[in-house]
Amino acid sequence: MFVSTPRTEASILHADLDSFYASVEQRDDSSLRGRPVIVGGGVVLAASYEAKAFGIRTPMNGRDALRLCPQAVVVHPRFSAYSDASKAVFEIFRDTTPLVEGISIDEAFLDVGGLRRIAGPAADIGQRLRERVRDEVGLPITVGIASTKFLAKVASAVAKPDGLLLVPPGGELKFLHPLPVERLCGVGAVTARKLHDHGIRTIGEMADVGETVLVSMLGGGAGRHLHDLSWARDPRPVHVGRRRRSIGSQRALGRRPKSAEDIDAIVVGIVERLGKRLRAAHRVSRTVVLRMRFDDFTRATRSHTLYESTARNDAILGVARRLVAGATPMIGERGLTLIGLSLTNLENDDAVQLALPFDADANGALDVTIDSLRDRFGTAAVTRAVLLGRDQGMVVPMLPD
Ligand SMILES: [Mg+2]
Sequence spans of domains, the chain: 1-169, 177-230, 247-387
Give me the CATH topology for the region 177-230.
DNA polymerase; domain 1 (1.10.150)
Residues 283 and 350: their CA atoms lie apart, in Å, by 8
Q: Give the pLDDT of the chain (401 residues) as one tens digit per residue.
A: 344 444 578 899 999 999 999 999 999 999 999 999 999 978 899 999 999 999 999 888 999 999 999 999 999 999 889 988 998 999 899 889 888 888 888 999 999 987 777 778 999 999 999 999 999 999 999 999 999 999 999 999 999 999 999 999 989 999 999 999 999 887 888 899 999 999 999 999 999 999 999 999 998 888 998 999 999 988 677 777 655 677 888 888 877 778 899 999 999 999 998 998 888 878 889 899 999 988 887 888 899 988 888 889 999 999 999 999 999 999 999 999 889 999 988 887 765 444 333 334 455 666 766 676 666 665 555 555 655 555 544 444 445 55
159 CA distance to ligand 1 middle (Å): 12
State in Å: Cα 334 to ligand 1 middle.
46
Q: What angle do CA 270, 288, 357 make, to 5 degrees?
A: 100
Three-state secondary structure string covering 149-161: HHHHHHHHHHHCC
DSSP, collapsed to helix, strand or coil, labels residue 389 as: coil
> Superfamily for 1-169?
Reverse transcriptase/Diguanylate cyclase domain (3.30.70.270)
CA 143 to CA 152: how far, in whole Å?
Answer: 8
User: What 8-state DSSP symbol labels residue 304?
Assistant: E
Cα of 18 to ligand 1 centre, how many Å? 5
Classify 3 as helix, strand or coil. strand
Q: What share of the chain is helix, strand, coil (3-state, %, to 5)?
A: 45, 20, 35
Please check whether residue 132 is in contact with residue 157, taking contact to mean a CB–CB distance below 8 angstroms.
no
Kind and range of the H or E element at 275? helix 260-280
How far, rounded to the nearest angstrom, does the alpha carbon of residue 2 sit from its chain's CA centroid? 20
218 burial type by CB count under 10 A (0-12 exposed, 13-18 middle, 19+ buried): buried
- Amino acid at residue number 3: V
Centroid of ligand 1 to alpha carbon of 106 (angstroms): 5
Tally of CB atoms within 10 A around 118: 6
What's residue 3's pLDDT?
44
CA distance 148 to 11: 8
Q: CA-CA distance, 353 to 164, in Å (whole number)?
A: 45
Distance 151 CA to ligand 1 centre (A): 16
Distance 77 CA to ligand 1 centre (A): 16
- The binding site comprises 16, 106
> Which whole-number Å values give the CA distances from 352 to 171, 185, 305, 346, in the listed order?
50, 44, 16, 11
Catalytic residues: 107
* Cα(154)–Cα(112) distance, integer angstroms: 18
Q: Do domains 1-169 and 247-387 have the same CATH topology?
A: no
Q: Which residue(s) pair with 166 in the sheet?
A: 145
Straight-line distance from the first to the last Cα atom of the chain, in angstroms, rounded to the nearest whole number: 16
Ligand 1 centroid to residue 24 C-alpha, Å: 12
**Distance in Å, CA 52 to ligand 1 centroid:** 14
Residue ranges near ligand 1 (ion) with Cβ within 5 Å:
16-17, 106
Is 88 exposed, middle or buried (CB count within 10 Å of its CB: 0-12, 13-18, 19+)?
middle
Cβ–Cβ < 8 Å for 44, 166 = no
- Residue 25, classed as helix, strand or coil, is helix
If you measure from the C-alpha of residue 275 to the centroid of ligand 1, how many angstroms do you get, rounded to a whole number? Answer: 29
Q: What are the residues facing 107 on neighbouring strands?
A: 16, 104
Which residue positions form the known binding site for Mg(2+)? 16, 106
- Domain 247-387: homologous superfamily in CATH: DNA polymerase, Y-family, little finger domain (3.30.1490.100)
